């Protein structure tokens, strides 16, 4: 234990050293448990998936993931997830802002409501949403005169995704807004900056890294969502069918390799996108000295 008591310079982030950046003991134990936990819970299933896929060979793998249906469904999944997370980036930020900056009757209830999509079983959410947005539903009926239909159309996928991913943006952005010092905004105001300029040049740069994290989380959640979407999407191949539905179909046809191949494709695409968002986030942090 003596090794862990030699306190290293805090902030030595880079480079691979075995020294803990904490004065608290238990480095070895906690690291072992961490690696075991990640190995069993996260890496295990991923390894099985790759193992299954490895058995099929490159050509079969490429053949499976480049069929028009897989590509079309992938595009539907990505596009819908992007729309939903972008919409939530705007409106989730607004919700977080209002919940932290203003006081109004029922604020606590509104704040608690944000967590509801976390807790609600996704199938329940899906059934409720599709009932609401069906052409004879409460909201769906209002849209019919405008020639719009949400349930059982690609738009339905986005609505379900917006529902399940909202808390990710709100909950990541909220603490940052709470920590923002109003003095900065007040100073800018006294120096004659317009409200818009204050928001864009003072508040937003401070919030942006957290917003990007929230966006990435929301996006990843949208891509992986299955339970609620199957009820509202209509699931028409190449029109309103998301990739996870396709994976289940492959499984139901006893094509395990085909299913895992598409799973690996999803994994690769998600990884690349999350990497890109992380790089973007690092760049923003550097630029604004966050």
Report the interface residues with other proteins, using CB under 8 A.
Answer: 64, 67, 69, 72, 123, 130-131, 134-136, 143-150, 152-155, 230, 234-241, 245, 248-249, 251-255, 258
Interacting residues of 155 by C-beta distance below 8 A, sequence separation 6+: 148, 149
Q: Judged by CB, which is closer to other proteins: 223, or 232?
A: 232
User: What is the nearest approach in angstroms of other proteins to the Cβ of residue 52?
Assistant: 13
The closest of 105, 108, 110 to 94, measured between CA atoms, is: 110
Q: Judged by CB, which is closer to other proteins: 239, or 280?
A: 239
Q: Judged by CB, which is closer to other proteins: 205, or 237?
A: 237
- Distance (Å, rounded) from C-alpha 270 to C-alpha 61? 18
Q: Judged by CB, which is closer to other proteins: 167, or 258?
A: 258
- Distance (Å, rounded) from C-alpha 30 to C-alpha 6? 18
Interacting residues of 121 by C-beta distance below 8 A, sequence separation 6+: 227
Q: Judged by CB, which is closer to other proteins: 156, or 209?
A: 156
Please tell me whether residue 245 adopts helix, strand or coil conformation. Answer: helix
User: What is the nearest approach in angstroms of other proteins to the Cβ of residue 41?
Assistant: 19
Please tell me whether residue 185 adopts helix, strand or coil conformation. Answer: helix
User: What is the nearest approach in angstroms of other proteins to the Cβ of residue 151?
Assistant: 8
| Block residue for tokens 């395990």 | 256
Q: How many residues in total does the chain contain?
A: 290
- Distance (Å, rounded) from C-alpha 197 to C-alpha 214? 24
User: What is the nearest approach in angstroms of other proteins to the Cβ of residue 251?
Assistant: 6
User: What is the nearest approach in angstroms of other proteins to the Cβ of residue 263?
Assistant: 15
Q: Judged by CB, which is closer to other proteins: 20, or 244?
A: 244
| Block residue for tokens 């998936």 | 49
- Distance (Å, rounded) from C-alpha 206 to C-alpha 188? 15
User: What is the nearest approach in angstroms of other proteins to the Cβ of residue 212?
Assistant: 26
């Amino acid at each position: 234990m003596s090794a862990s008591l030699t306190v290293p310079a805090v902030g030595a982030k880079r480079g691979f050293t075995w020294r803990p950046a904490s004065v608290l003991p238990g480095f070895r134990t906690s690291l072992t448990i961490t690696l075991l936990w990640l190995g069993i819970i996260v890496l295990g299933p991923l390894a099985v998936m790759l193992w299954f896929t490895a058995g099929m060979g490159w050509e079969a793998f490429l053949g499976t993931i480049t069929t028009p249906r897989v590509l079309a469904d992938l595009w539907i999944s990505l596009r819908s997830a992007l729309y939903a997370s972008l919409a939530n980036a705007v409106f989730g930020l607004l919700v977080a802002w209002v919940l932290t900056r203003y006081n109004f009757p029922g604020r606590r209830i509104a704040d608690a409501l944000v967590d509801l999509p976390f807790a609600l079983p996704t199938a329940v959410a899906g059934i409720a949403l599709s009932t609401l947005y069906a052409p004879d539903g409460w909201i769906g009926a209002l849209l019919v005169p405008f020639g719009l239909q949400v349930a059982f159309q690609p738009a339905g996928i986005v609505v379900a995704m917006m529902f399940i991913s909202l808390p990710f943006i709100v909950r990541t952005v909220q603490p940052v807004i709470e920590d923002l010092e109003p003095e900065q905004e007040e100073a800018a105001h006294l120096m004659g900056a317009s409200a818009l300029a204050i928001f864009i040049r003072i508040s937003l740069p401070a919030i942006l890294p957290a917003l990007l994290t929230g966006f990435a989380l929301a996006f990843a959640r949208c891509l992986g969502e299955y339970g609620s979407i199957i009820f509202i999407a209509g699931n028409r191949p190449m029109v309103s069918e998301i990739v996870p539905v396709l994976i289940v179909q492959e499984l139901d046809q006893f094509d395990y390799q085909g299913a895992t191949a598409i799973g690996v494709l999803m994994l690769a695409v998600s990884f690349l996108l999350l990497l890109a968002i992380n790089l973007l986030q690092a760049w923003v942090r550097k630029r604004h000295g966050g």
